[in-house]
Structure 1
Amino acid sequence: MATARRIAATNDVPAETTLVFTLREIDSGEKREGILVRTDDDLHAWFNYCQHYTHIKIDKGTGAEMRNGELICENHGAYFESDTGFCNFGPCEGAYLNEVEIEVEDGDVYLVDDDYEFVREGPIEADDADLESKSNYKF
């Protein structure tokens, strides 16, 4: 695997929360966030956006809230299964988180989705953020 595609060491992914990272879409150059989450025997990666309002982040930069192995959107109270991304409770019940394709090899997690490139561990930095209003309410 190419070093540039390495997201993190598997040991760096916390057991009871998430690790956020930044990606860039190759075609558009748009930056997006992903999250790594540990399940009993595996690691999974999802785009860091709730399926109720997709501009709301599940991990706000300090680790996502989790309960009984499920990711929780603190804004809406939606619960997502960590291993499938399925929302089993909340306003987007029945929806799925969008997967980020990863592989684990030799103790490291790698991005294998050819549509994206790895930028850095951590959230999108403030000077990279789109500051256009994304209010849930239309005036």
Structure 2
Amino acid sequence: MPERTRLTTVADVHENDSWLFTVRDQYGETEEVILLPCEESVEAWINRCMHQPQRLDRGFGAAVRDGEVVCPRHGSAFDTCSGHCDNGEAEGTTLVNVDVTVEDGTVYLDDRSYSFAHEGGIDEDGDDDGGPSSSSHISF
């Protein structure tokens, strides 16, 4: 796996509230990762609620409010800096971290468990838009 890959800028993540990209693990399996604003920097998390396998960013930006990313399925909110959830169905869980480094305002993927595949989400061949299967769709 490469040591690090340039992703985007801290300013871009803060301006858009999130930045979605796809990585591959050592077995070639793909995984989505989201960059989220954290104070003056960013943090990277696997793009999945810990309560159920629901994408936090469904391809058009994550719902970020008051320093928390909100799960669109059940409304659990995870701190963008620590990944910890203290409410809702996912209470007591923490998002899975992906290692990134920030240098001079530029964000680099430097997690040796993953290699950068592409910006955006995993390309799916089905008609599923990646949205929640419940009837409660939360948006901001």
Q: Taking structure 2 as the reference length, what is the TM-score of the superposition?
A: 0.82
SS at match of 2:11: helix
In the alignment, what sits opposite 1:75? 73
Q: Are residues 1:90 and 2:88 paired? A: yes
C-alpha distance in structure 2 between counterparts of 1:117 and 1:32, whole Å: 10
**Alignment partner for residue 63 of structure 1, among 61, 64, 70?**
61
How many residues align structurally? 127
In the alignment, what sits opposite 2:36? 37
Identity of aligned residues (%): 39
C-alpha distance in structure 2 between counterparts of 1:114 and 1:17, whole Å: 25
C-alpha distance in structure 2 between counterparts of 1:106 and 1:94, whole Å: 34
C-alpha distance in structure 2 between counterparts of 1:122 and 1:43, whole Å: 17
In the alignment, what sits opposite 1:25? 25
For 1:58-107, what per-residue CA distance to the aligned partner results, in whole angstroms no more than 9, with x for missing partners?
A: 00011111221110001011010010000111111010000010001133
C-alpha distance in structure 2 between counterparts of 1:93 and 1:114, whole Å: 29
SS at match of 2:97: coil
Is the contact made by 2:100 and 2:107 (CA closer than 8 Å) also made in structure 1? yes
Amino acid in the other structure paired with 1:52 = H
Q: Which runs of 5+ in 2 are unaligned?
A: 127-132, 135-140
In the alignment, what sits opposite 1:108? 106
Q: Which runs of 5+ in 1 are unaligned?
A: 129-134
In the alignment, what sits opposite 1:132? none
Amino acid in the other structure paired with 2:33 = G
Q: CA RMSD in A?
A: 2.2
Deviation, 1:16, is: 5.7
Structure 1 20/100 Cα, relative in aligned 2: closer, same or farther at 3 Å? same
C-alpha distance in structure 1 between counterparts of 2:16 and 2:68, whole Å: 10
Deviation, 1:11, is: 2.6
In the alignment, what sits opposite 2:137? none
Is the contact made by 2:20 and 2:119 (CA closer than 8 Å) also made in structure 1? yes
